[in-house]
Amino acid sequence: MTSNEVEKVQQLLKEKGYFNATPTGYFGTITQTAVMNFQRDYGLAVDGIVGPATLNALNKVSSSSTGSSTVNSSTQATASDIVAYSKKFIGVPYVWGGTSPSGFDCSGFIYYVFKNGGGVTVPRTVATLYQSGKSTSTPNVGDIVFFDTTGGPSHAGIYIGNGQFIHAGSSTGVTIASLSNSYWAPRYLGSKSVF
């Protein structure tokens, strides 16, 4: 299938980093794979078809995003929005490199929640998350909390208040833990605000 609409979809996918070829307007396997990867990352039905939900998501994401290496806050996002959205994923399994509701790693969870729960683009890895944002003396709701589990910042979660954070743990999947927990307390590095 070839059309101007397909070319527009390819351009939107390219802006998001899902389509690495020149938009041609031809809907082949490269475009279908890009669509499916986009759908997987944004929690849509993964069918490779650009239906209304996928098209709306592409247009919405494209109009509000910049590069993933910068912290970009949307005026509409609030810390409570982020926390409420994050809790929808409690129980999702841990998957190394995972960035979707089928499985998350710790930074993939944070990246997905901020992007889809409030239109806030944050860096993808713990190391780059730790280098960005603004340090806070004590964590506020919606701040990212960091831990040293391997020598340097290597794990992160989202502070939800009352001394608790939500995170994708390698042995627990997405769960809520306490900062005063005997495992996490001695490994705590600090918190950063992205708002």
Which CATH number is 184's domain given?
A: 3.90.1720.10
Do residues 38 and 121 both lie within one domain?
Answer: no
Do residues 60 and 132 both lie within one domain?
Answer: no
Find out whether 178 and 163 touch, Cβ atoms under 8 Å: yes
Do residues 55 and 91 both lie within one domain?
Answer: no
Do residues 47 and 88 both lie within one domain?
Answer: no
Q: Specify the number of domains making up the chain.
A: 2
Task: Report, as residue numbers or ranges, the catalytic residues.
Answer: 106, 155, 167
Per-residue pLDDT at 1: 60
Q: Is residue 152 part of a domain?
A: yes
Per-residue pLDDT at 143: 95
Q: What is the 3-class SS of the chain, one letter each residue?
A: CECHHHHHHHHHHHHCCCCCCCCCCECCHHHHHHHHHHHHHCCCCCCCCCCHHHHHHHHHHHHHCCCCCCCECCCCCCHHHHHHHHHHHCCCCECCCCEECCEECHHHHHHHHHHHHHCCECCCCHHHHHHCCEEECCCCCCCEEEECCCCCCCEEEEEEECCEEEEEECCCEEEEEECCCCCCHHHEEEEEECC
Per-residue pLDDT at 77: 62
Q: Is residue 69 part of a domain?
A: no
Mean pLDDT by 10 residues, the chain (195 residues): 81 82 86 86 82 82 44 56 93 95 96 89 91 90 94 94 96 96 97 87
| CATH code for position 52 | 1.10.101.10
The range of the structural domain enclosing residue 175 comes to 79-193
Per-residue pLDDT at 2: 65
Q: Is residue 88 part of a domain?
A: yes
